[in-house]
Amino acid sequence: MSDAGKSIKRPMSPRRKRYLTALGLAGLFGGILGAWMQIAQSGASPTDLAMLSNSPLTPNFAIGASIIWVVGMIVSLILYHRSVDDHEERAYLWAGTAAWYTFTLAAPSWWVLHRASLAPAPDVMLLFVGALAVNLVVWLWLKYR
C-alpha cells in the first residue's frame, strides 16, 4: 500500500498554538459581546440585530460592553502580534493601511455631503464595518495568494 495519499501529522509549533489561541480568544470575546448585546438591547424587536440597530442600550450594558471590548481587544491583539510571522505581519500592516485609507476617504466625504443635506448623518458603525471589510479582504488576499 502506498503512502502517497496519506498526510503526515506533524506536531503543532508553539507559534501556531499562540496564533490559534489569539484568534480563538478574539472570537470568544466577540461572540460573548455580540450575544450579550443582542440580549441586552432595549426598545427593539427581538428580530433586530443589535449591532445593526440604533435602539437604546442601558448605561450599565454600555459601560460593561466597552470595558470587555477594550480589554478583550488588548489581550487578543498582544497575543496575535506575538504569534505572527513576517509574512502575516506584512499582510496585516497593508490591510490596516488600506482600511485606514478607506476610512479617511469615506468619513470626511460623507460628513461634507451631510452638511450640504445631500446625505444622512454619518454612521460611525457603518464606517467602522466598511473599514473592517476592506481590512479583511486585503489581509486574506495578501496572506493566501
Domain C-terminal end among 36, 69, 84? 84
Is residue 2 predicted with pLDDT exceeding 70? no
Q: Calculate the alpha carbon distances from 104 to 18, 89, 100, 130 in Å.
A: 33, 22, 6, 12
My answer on whether 143 and 100 are in the same domain is yes
Is residue 67 predicted with pLDDT exceeding 70? yes
Domain C-terminal end among 84, 99, 124? 84
More confident of the two residues 114 and 29: 114
Is residue 86 predicted with pLDDT exceeding 70? yes
My answer on whether 90 and 48 are in the same domain is no
Is residue 140 predicted with pLDDT exceeding 60? yes
d(CA 79, CA 116): 45
137 falls within a domain: yes
8 falls within a domain: no
Residue from 28, 137, 30, 19 nearest 78 by CA: 19
d(CA 56, CA 105): 29
Domain C-terminal end among 37, 67, 84? 84
Mean pLDDT of 61-79: 84
8 A C-beta contact, residue 134 and residue 99: yes
My answer on whether 118 and 71 are in the same domain is no
My answer on whether 111 and 53 are in the same domain is no
My answer on whether 93 and 64 are in the same domain is no
pTM: 0.66
Is residue 141 predicted with pLDDT exceeding 60? yes
More confident of the two residues 112 and 77: 112
Classify residue 6 by its DSSP letter.
S
Dihedral angle over CA of 44, 66, 114, 132, nearest 10: -100
Question: Domain tally for the chain?
Answer: 2
8 A C-beta contact, residue 72 and residue 26: yes
Model confidence band, residue 131 (pLDDT cutoffs 50, 70, 90) = very high
| Domain of residue 60, residue span | 13-84
My answer on whether 124 and 144 are in the same domain is yes
Mean pLDDT of 82-105: 92
